Structure 1
Amino acid sequence: AALCGDSLGLEIFLTKEEALYMARVSASLPWLFPIREDLYPDIIVRSAPSNNQAQHQQLSFIKTPFESTLGAFSPHSLRLYQQFYVENPLYLHTTRALQTLPTVDAPCLHRMWPLYGVNRMTEVGYFISSKTNRAVLDVTADRLSGKKLAMLNPRGLLIQEGISYETKETFQTSIKGHKSGDGTVPYCSLNYPEVGWADKVDVFTIEVEDAEHREMLQHDAVFNEIITLVCDEEEERRQGKRREYR
C-alpha cells in the first residue's frame, strides 16, 4: 500500500491516488511493515534493475531491501516508521544488553493458544519497477509464476499482477510441510510463536482450515474452538501441541 497504493477494500470510495496518499500519511500502517527480512522465507521486494544493473547482473529482477525501497518512493512513510517504531523501546529499539527485538520477544505467559486460519492465498512479495519516480507493480513478473528459479522465485510461488502469493501447496520450512497464511498474514508470521517462543512458553497451536483473516468471527470452526477453550477443563485444553481442522 505504501509503495504502490492499495484501496484496502475501499475501491468504491477511493481512487488509486487517494489510496496511495492515505497509506503514505498513515502513522499506523508502518506497524505492518516487515522486520528482520533475513528471517523471511521469501524476498519481500524485487525491483526491475536499471540498464546498468541489468548488464552486470543479467537478471530481470534484483533483491531490494524494503526500507531502501520505501525511502526511494515514500520517504515520509520511512520517517514515520523510524520515528514511531524503530526508535520505540517497546517495539524495535534494542540495546546490547537486550539482543532480541521487544516486539518479537516471548510474552510473560506460561501457556498460549495461537488460533488462526490457514491455507488461503496470501501475498508475500512484490515485483516492482520505477515509472516516473513512482513504484508500480510489474506484471511482467507473472511469467515467473509457479517456476522454481533460484534468484527470482525459489519457492515457485504463484505470481499474479506483480504480487507473489503462497498457497496451500507452498512448502514451509518451519513445519517441513505445505501450508499458507490466512489471506492477510503470511504463514511464517502466524507460526512464529511456535517457532520462536516454544522454548520459553508452552505453545498450543490451533489452525483452522480456510478461515480468512477478516472473516474469522463468521467461521463455525473458529467459534467451536473458542467455546472449547473457554468451557473445557484445563487438562482437556492442554491435550496436544497442535490441532488442525480440515
Structure 2
Amino acid sequence: MTSENTVRPGVRRPRADRARQVADVLRRQVLAGVFTGGALPHEERLAEEFGESRNTVREALDLLRTEGLVRRVPGSGTLVLADKVPHGLNRLQGLAETLHEHGEVVNEVRSLGPVRAPGPVARRLGLPEGADVVYVERLRRLNGLPLSLDLTYLVPDLGAGLDAADLAHTDVFRLIEEAAGQPLGSAEITLEAVSADAHSASVLEVPRGAALLMLERLTTLADGRPVDLEYVRFRGDRLTMQGRLLRDIP
C-alpha cells in the first residue's frame, strides 16, 4: 500500500513546496560561497538546472530575499547579500577561537558580578541550593557587528577573578582553564530557535520577534566538574552552525 505522504510519479506538488526545495539547495550554495562574483545564475539557467518553471525559481529567490540572503538588482540579476560565518560544532572552543579566520571578536561586558544562582542553575553546576555564582552578560561583536548575546553562569571559585581579566579580547574558556589549572573536557549543548525579546532585540540590533539561534551549553573540566552554564543568542542572519556527525554502530 502506498503511503499518502509518498510522492508518486505524475502527482504534481504545490509550487510553494517545490520553491521551498529549490530555496533550500540555493541557500546552502549562497552560504558556501559557490556563486563566483556574488551573483546567482539567471532565473532561466536555474529553472533548467532544477527542472522547474521560472515562476517556481522566482518564488524560491523571493524566500531567500525575505531571509536577507540575496537582493534583486535591476540590470544585474540576483546578488548575494548576506555574509554568514560558520560556527563549528565539532570542537569545544570559545567564539574567538572558532571564528578567528573571519575577523576580530570583541566582547562588550554589560554585566559582571556575583548573583544568587537560580535553583536549576545551581543544580546543573553541582552547587548547593542558594549558592552564589558569577554572572557575566556580554555582547559579542565580529568585525564591529553584533553577533551574539551571551548570558553566562560560572562557579564562584573560577569566576572570581574575571573582573581583573581582559574580557574584551579573551574568551572565558581560556580564563577558566588558566584559573582551574586544567583544560576543559566536554560540553552538553542544545540548539534551538527563539524569538528576540525586547532586550535581546535592542542589544543585537534586530526587530523584536526576529528569529535567533540559541545555544545552551553546560561545560565541564577534564575531570568532569561542571563549571560554566551559558545561554547564547546568535543572530541567525550572520551565523550558520556546521558540524560533522559520525554514526556509532554497535
Whether the TM-score (by the shorter chain) exceeds 0.5 is: no
Q: TM-score range by the shorter chain?
A: under 0.3
Give the structure-2-normalised TM-score: 0.22
Give the structure-1-normalised TM-score: 0.22
Higher strand share: 2
Rg comparison, structure with higher value: 2
